[in-house]
Amino acid sequence: MSSRVFSLCAVLLLATSAGTVARGGEAEGFVVPEGGFVLDGGDEEAAAAPLTASANALVAAQATAPAPIQPRPMAFEYSDGYRTRLKIHKYASFATIPLFVAQYAVGQKLYDGNASDSTRSAHGALAASTAVLFGVNTVTGVWNLTEGRKDPSHRTKRMIHGFLMLAADAGFVATGMLAPDDEGEGGGDRSTHRTVALTSMGIATVAYLMMLIH
């Protein structure tokens, strides 16, 4: 009985050893069929590498792509006459503020009723100078405004300046028409004359100063 048990154990041990050897041999002798492939961890990384590189290259290209170029505004060509009139307009306008200050000082003396004959003469001379100044600047300004009406650069500001100056022109014409025959008399006319004159000066000053702001 003992010998039979021993023999059976020996047979089982030999069979187990033979199976282990057979499996080891198959693993060691594993052959990939022609045209087949083996997919393991290394193969997955190798397959994903080109896709990752392409994605990184796309992101880098987008990050370094230049901003879209904005179209440059078209240059507007002005005539030589425009430039000449512009110089006259600018240089003449330098007298605007000093002329207004002097006219206000003389006009205030007339309004208070303590002006001399020389003050009245100065008031008339200043009024004539104002008329000449705004006559020259109105002609040059309207002429240039008409020529440059299609130029989009600062067009709104130029248009507002022109309209305000034309309003001041109308105010100065009304001021002259409302001037009393005798500056020392005529309280109602004198007051209206002064109010319209100061209003016109204020409008012209605003229009003048706005062109100095770029």
Tokens in use for 57? 């290259």
Q: What is the sign, positive or negative, of the torsion defined by CA atoms of 64, 65, 67, 70?
A: positive
Q: What is the DSSP string of 78-104?
A: PPHHHHHHHHHHHHHHTTHHHHHHHHH
Residues of the chain below pLDDT 70: 1-75, 182-188, 214
Euclidean distance between CA atoms 76 and 78, whole angstroms: 6
**149 assigned to some structural domain:** yes
- Residue 65 has a pLDDT of 53
**199 assigned to some structural domain:** yes
**194 assigned to some structural domain:** yes
The answer to whether the pTM exceeds 0.95 is no
Q: What is the pLDDT of residues 87-133, one digit of tens each?
A: 999 999 999 999 999 999 999 998 888 778 899 999 999 999 999 99
Tokens in use for 186? 């005529």
- Residue 13 has a pLDDT of 52
**16 assigned to some structural domain:** no
Instruction: Considering only CA atoms, give the Rg of the chain.
Output: 50
Euclidean distance between CA atoms 78 and 73, whole angstroms: 15
3-state secondary structure of 185: coil
Tokens in use for 128? 């004539």
Number of domains the chain is built from: 1
- Residue 107 has a pLDDT of 92
Chain-wide mean pLDDT for the chain?
Answer: 77
Owning domain of residue 156: 80-210
**34 assigned to some structural domain:** no
Residue carrying the six token digits 């002005």: 78
**93 assigned to some structural domain:** yes
**6 assigned to some structural domain:** no
**42 assigned to some structural domain:** no
Phi-psi region of 34 (alpha: psi -120 to 50; beta: other; left: phi over 0): beta
